[in-house]
Structure 1
């Protein structure tokens, strides 16, 4: 009869573990977001996105807005975050150090691409990147965040090919500034604080359409080759079923309050290979930590 008693004890212990487990709340799926512009309506939009993702994943979701790229990459590295919305440059850097995977990206006017623009005040005599290079010693140039793809990496590489820029200390310009965000760059050019600025094309168009930037006061004089849009990426140990649920949920989002904060018309699937051109540019610029 001892074996029956043992079975009873085992059954009781299993029931106890189940009861304790049922009493615990599910660990939330944590998402980090770096706003490409000043935060503005970001908080309300992220609350709505939290709800949608929680429904799709069938578990709680927490979205945290970060002020800088490094904070997000560190959180991914130490497993304090499961998913992040990253700039393409930050993504390829994080992929080298943490192995993150691209899941989805946003569509702008139905396309998953954008460009780096060089913009100038309307009355500027500059009409091309070649003229910017020729007149560099007279020009106050504005990049965005140092870790921005379209606001720093890509225009920096283009100016390097023109022979007038290596880095913040080595260049031929009258002055170099990093404004920290695309909207600050646009407004600074509009107000004549700088002579030329580098900016994300989708954000620039969004600022013009919203009236925050006057289209009659700013001109575009150069645009890069197409760049794949900002990825939403997960840690390498996030399982396949969760990734599939994330993709399905993002692709179903039609809520304008969520889409508008990204200037998006929808979302589409993204793969690591979509960012290979950015990876090559970052490697050429010495912006990757290759292990």
Structure 2
């Protein structure tokens, strides 16, 4: 009997070994990605120092996997093709609803994030109410700060219904910096984007302030978060989060990473932080 059980045990080990080996191998590489909310060159500049920091802290190879759009980031996380993704609040909620993804960490600024509404200076727009009847651009359709909350605030603050009160249907630029360029060129007369990208473009002299101006800044809302796929081990998720929490602005090397991420520090994220986004997503019809 014992010999039979031993043979069965050996058979089980031999049968399951490829699975164990594959799991061990997968843990040797952490694949990260993020929503493409800016142009690819800017994203590469922001992610490279972060990847290097993660590799040092985690002791494994970290690979940045670019995706083509917001939906692709959610799908890749749900399919297990990436382990962690830098998502906006709304794409995080989509990933949670679709595949049980979980929040890990967020920047200090993401608990009270804001969007700005901008207008072409030749459009005769001085306040949000003046956008009625004008052409308008959001960012990506799944963007929290480039679409969801701007659409929400247009309706609740100014009684502007985006799909009927502009000059034609609103356009979708696909990225925050692209929205600025659409307004700057006059392709649309107004648009909305996240305040961080706007501030960075101003600081880098990447926008002609003679052609574009801010007409309104939104109330604060919760936004970006590092999100983990559902089936990662608790220890892997914990180590990943600790790598961000360990970033210290007093250290030059860490400060360089934080500056590129637009943060002074990272803080733990909780599932309840994103309940309001889910509510707004359902109320606007953007989340089914």
1:243 Cα deviation from its structure 2 partner: 2.3
Q: What is the deviation of 1:259?
A: 3.2
Provide closer, same or farther for how the CA distance between residues 26 and 100 of structure 1 changes in structure 2, counting only shifts above 3 A: closer
- In structure 2, the residue matched to 1:195 is 189
Q: How does 1:249-264 map to 2 (within 5 A)?
A: 249-253=243-247, 254=249, 255-264=254-263
Mapped pair 1:172 → 2:165 = yes
Q: Which residue of 1 aligns with 2:153?
A: 158
CA offset at residue 236 of structure 1? 2.2
Deviation at 1:26, TM superposition (A): 5.4
CA apart distance, 1:33? 1.6
Question: In structure 2, what is the Cα distance between the partners aligned to 1:45 and 1:202?
Answer: 13
Q: Residue 54 of structure 1 contacts residue 60 of structure 1 at CA under 8 Å; is this kept in 2?
A: yes
Tell which structure's C-alpha radius of gyration is larger. Answer: 1
1:146 counterpart residue number: 141
User: Do the aligned partners of 1:48 and 1:258 also contact (CA within 8 Å) in 2?
Assistant: yes
Offset, 1:287: 2.0
**Which runs of structure 2 are paired with 1:48-127 in the superposition (5 Å)?**
48-108=49-109, 112-127=111-126
Q: In the TM superposition, what is the alpha-carbon distance from 1:96 to its structure 2 partner?
A: 0.9
Secondary structure in 2 matching 1:102 = strand
What is the deviation of 1:43?
A: 2.5
Q: Give unmatched runs, 5+ long, in structure 2.
A: none
- Give the 5 Å matches for 1:218-233: 218-233=212-227
The alignment partner of 2:65 has SS state of: strand
Question: How many residue pairs were aligned?
Answer: 268
Gapped runs of 5+ residues in structure 1?
none
Aligned residue in 2 for 1:207:
201
> C-alpha offsets along residues 45-94 of structure 1, whole Å, 9 cap, x if unaligned?
43332232223223222221112111121112222221111111111111
Structure 1 vs Structure 2 CA RMSD: 2.9
Q: Which structure shows the bigger proportion of residues in helix conformation?
A: 2
- Of stretches 120-129 and 93-102 in structure 1, the one that deviates more from structure 2 is 120-129
TM-score of the superposed pair, with normalisation by structure 1: 0.81
Asked if 1:268 corresponds to 2:267, the answer is yes
The answer (yes or no) to whether the contact 1:119–1:196 under 8 Å persists in 2 is yes
User: In the alignment, which residue of structure 2 is the partner of 1:185?
Assistant: 179
Contact kept, 8 Å, 1:42 with 1:261, in 2: the verdict is: no
User: Residue 35 of structure 2 contacts residue 67 of structure 2 at CA under 8 Å; is this kept in 1?
Assistant: yes
Runs of 4+ in 1 over 4 A off after TM superposition: none
